[in-house]
Amino acid sequence: MAKYYMAMGGLENLKSWKSMKATAKYIMVAQGGTEVSIIVWYKAPDKTRVEISQNGEIAIYVVTNKSAWMCDASRGFPEPIPLPEDQARKAINNADVYPFINYKKKGHKIEFLAIEEFEGAEVYKVKLIQNSGAESLHLMDVRTGRELKIINKIRRNKKEMIYETIERDFRKVDGLLLPFLTEHIVNGIQVRKMLIEDVEINIEIDDALFQQETQKKELIQNRGIHFLLFFWE
């Protein structure tokens, strides 16, 4: 873990970061390579807001350590509603951007499983068991300490699904090492990529961005907005 902390920007930087805003785009591989613009707000340690826009339409997805909600008028939900239970559970379990930081204080446990190979590199295979009981597997480069892959298993509609996130193109931003390319794979099929175009660290972010009631008030004032269909994965 010490090698991981050092690689990702140093323990003090990982503990002290307050917020992050990323402008990026999704490449929807499973939909023929369609590109979708997104903006992501993170507020440490466990608040995320994603806005997805295409052809003038916007979808909003928000996850904190306590709730997960969305707006999607195209599905008949012009006002914020909770995510479906299985999706919400997965999103909430993964709300913490850096779960390994202060993991003992958070009530999490870590198990070292093995040294394996991933894309030609030796990796530590580590299991994270969160205080909620949620488990995930993490592959960390033996040489550099970088986290290269995350694996989650969930049940949806009584079927087990495997979600994999592969992290690439690491760059330093204000002391933090960030993956500017992530690939998202579901049951062995790549569904999308995310390419970061710009990142700002430690900017002011209002908590109202993550509050469902605040969003309802904004929507009442802006009934003309329509929202893009999007599934949080």
pLDDT tens for 100-147 read 999 999 999 999 999 999 999 999 999 999 998 999 999 999 999 999
Cβ pair 181, 192 in contact under 8 A: no
pLDDT tens for 48-88 read 999 988 767 788 899 998 889 988 766 666 788 888 887 88
Q: Which CATH superfamily is domain 2-100+170-221 in?
A: Lipoprotein localisation LolA/LolB/LppX (2.50.20.10)
Separation CA 5–CA 101 (nearest Å): 8
pLDDT tens for 201-214 read 999 999 999 988 65
pLDDT of residue 183: 97
Cβ pair 20, 9 in contact under 8 A: no
Separation CA 225–CA 56 (nearest Å): 9
Q: Which long-range contacts link 108-111 to residues 24+ away (Cβ below 8 Å)?
A: 110/1
Question: In whole numbers, what is the pLDDT of the chain averaged over residues?
Answer: 87
pLDDT tens for 169-197 read 999 999 999 999 999 999 999 999 999 99
Those residues with Cβ within 8 angstroms of residue 75's Cβ, 6 or more apart along the chain or in another chain: 229
